């Protein structure tokens, strides 16, 4: 079938066409062999020891002044490392942010971080959250003392070869852990890998619709992670109090544009979309999301032209929802390499 061939080509291309450093599989068998190598910055190669230190730091509440806020506070492992069911994330001292914390499974493959793309690497993203007074509000002096303590000394030496503690290294360790949060064993993945029996007729119909010109879903949700890593306005509002990508670029054409999220584990990560300033109510179910796209959205000046009235039947909408639920990979919730130490 045409869309299976397209998916296969995209999987091969993602693995073969990266002008980046990637970790050999025999050095880090934490990455599934059927997934493309995870790219990393030249100064932060992936090692098992660094990932283990990063896992400890990811769950370490003492990185915040009150000892209660860690990376996992907004990226919860039992919610596919998202902040479900919160629409707006809560950080240090109960302070609310502006947006929803996105899922970070397979974040190592992303080209930009945050909904507006203001960080180019996971290291930059981690540091931004670490220092943000509304998020972790870290006191670097206190954190430095913690990381120089006997509790962390052995892990630190294994990860970096010495005990020279820096905040840059701490963020490199967290980013390394996030890079091994790889998920690609949903029923959809198994179907793409050749198991034609794993999807029901309704789910297969939904997949055909998803990759069809009728819906254009795959125009933005493309590639192995079902995201084009680009920024789009999908016509949620008539006015955007959160101006999205525009805040970074200053380009009026970017107003109301946000990064296309991966649809992996989408059934586990409601509510949906980046911000909480809704005019037509919160999107808390996949059925509501499909209905919203079916309606075509508002006529905002920067709305993507592919977002239009779809005139789907009730059966077609049900099929799309059924397909989206096949993207759940429950193994990511149980992987012992990902859980709290």
- DSSP track, 162-201: S----HHHHHHHHHHHHHT-----SHHHHHHTT-TTSS-H
pTM: 0.88
Q: How far is CA 326 from each of CA 195, 207, 323, rounded to the nearest angstrom?
A: 13, 9, 5
Q: What is the CA radius of gyration of the chain?
A: 20
pLDDT at 290 over 90: yes
Q: How far is CA 320 from each of CA 200, 208, 259, rounded to the nearest angstrom?
A: 12, 9, 22
- Do 19-183 and 187-325 fold alike per CATH? yes
Range with the poorest average pLDDT among 235-249, 269-283, 293-307, 311-325: 269-283
* Average pLDDT value for residue range 15-43: 62
Query: For residue range 302-318, what is the model confidence (pLDDT) as tens digits?
Result: 999 999 999 999 999 99
pLDDT at 22 over 60: no
Quickly state the pLDDT bin for 276 (edges 50, 70, 90). Answer: low
Quickly state the pLDDT bin for 18 (edges 50, 70, 90). Answer: very low
Quickly name the fold that domain 187-325 has: Cytochrome Bc1 Complex; Chain D, domain 2 (1.10.760)
Range with the poorest average pLDDT among 34-38, 232-236, 248-252: 34-38
Range with the poorest average pLDDT among 25-29, 82-86, 247-251: 25-29
Which of 64, 124, 103 lies closest to 274, judged by CA? 103
Quickly state the pLDDT bin for 8 (edges 50, 70, 90). Answer: very low
Q: Which pLDDT belongs to residue 150?
A: 95
Quickly state the pLDDT bin for 2 (edges 50, 70, 90). Answer: very low
Q: What is the rounded CA–CA span in Å between residue 222 and residue 93?
A: 38
Q: Which pLDDT belongs to residue 335?
A: 87
pLDDT at 21 over 60: no
SS3 content of the chain, % helix, strand, coil (to 5): 40, 5, 55
- Close Cβ partners of 313 (under 8 Å, ≥ 6 residues apart): none
Q: Which pLDDT belongs to residue 284?
A: 87
Average pLDDT, the chain: 88
Quickly state the pLDDT bin for 195 (edges 50, 70, 90). Answer: very high
- Helix or strand or coil: residue 108? helix
Q: Which pLDDT belongs to residue 30?
A: 61
Domain boundaries, the chain: 19-183, 187-325
CATH architecture of the domain with range 19-183: Orthogonal Bundle (1.10)
Query: For residue range 127-185, what is the model confidence (pLDDT) as tens digits?
Result: 999 999 999 999 999 999 999 999 999 999 999 999 899 999 999 999 999 999 998 89
């Amino acid at each position: 079938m045409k869309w299976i061939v397209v998916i296969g080509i995209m999987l091969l291309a993602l693995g073969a066409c990266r002008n980046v450093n990637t970790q050999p599989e025999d050095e880090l068998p934490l990455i599934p062999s059927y997934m493309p190598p995870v790219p990393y910055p030249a100064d932060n190669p992936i090692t098992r020891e660094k990932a283990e230190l990063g896992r400890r730091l990811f769950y370490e509440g003492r990185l915040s002044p009150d000892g209660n806020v860690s990376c996992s506070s907004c990226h919860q492992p039992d919610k596919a490392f998202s902040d479900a069911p919160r629409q707006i994330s809560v950080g240090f001292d109960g302070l609310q942010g502006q947006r929803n914390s996105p899922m970070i499974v397979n974040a190592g493959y992303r080209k930009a971080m945050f909904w507006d793309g203001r960080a180019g690497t996971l290291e930059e993203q981690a540091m931004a959250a670490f220092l943000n007074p509304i998020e972790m509000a870290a006191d670097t002096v206190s954190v430095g003392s913690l990381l120089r303590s006997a509790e962390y000394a052995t892990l630190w030496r294994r990860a970096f070869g010495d005990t020279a503690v820096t905040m840059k290294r701490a963020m490199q360790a967290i980013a390394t852990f996030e890079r091994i949060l790889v998920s690609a064993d949903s029923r959809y993945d198994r179907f793409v890998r050749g198991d034609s029996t794993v999807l029901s007729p309704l789910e297969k119909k939904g997949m055909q619709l998803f990759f069809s010109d009728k819906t254009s879903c795959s125009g933005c949700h493309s590639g192995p992670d079902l995201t084009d890593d680009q920024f789009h306005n999908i016509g949620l509002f008539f006015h955007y109090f959160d101006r999205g990508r525009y805040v970074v670029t200053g380009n009026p054409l970017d107003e109301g544009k946000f990064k296309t999220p991966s649809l992996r584990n989408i059934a586990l990560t409601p509510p949906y979309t980046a911000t909480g300033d809704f005019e037509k109510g919160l999107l808390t179910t996949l059925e509501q999301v499909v209905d919203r796209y079916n309606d075509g959205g508002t006529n905002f000046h920067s709305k993507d032209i592919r977002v239009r009235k779809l005139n789907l039947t009730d059966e077609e909408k049900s099929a799309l929802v059924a397909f989206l639920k096949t993207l759940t990979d429950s193994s990511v919730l149980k992987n012992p390499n990902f859980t709290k130490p």
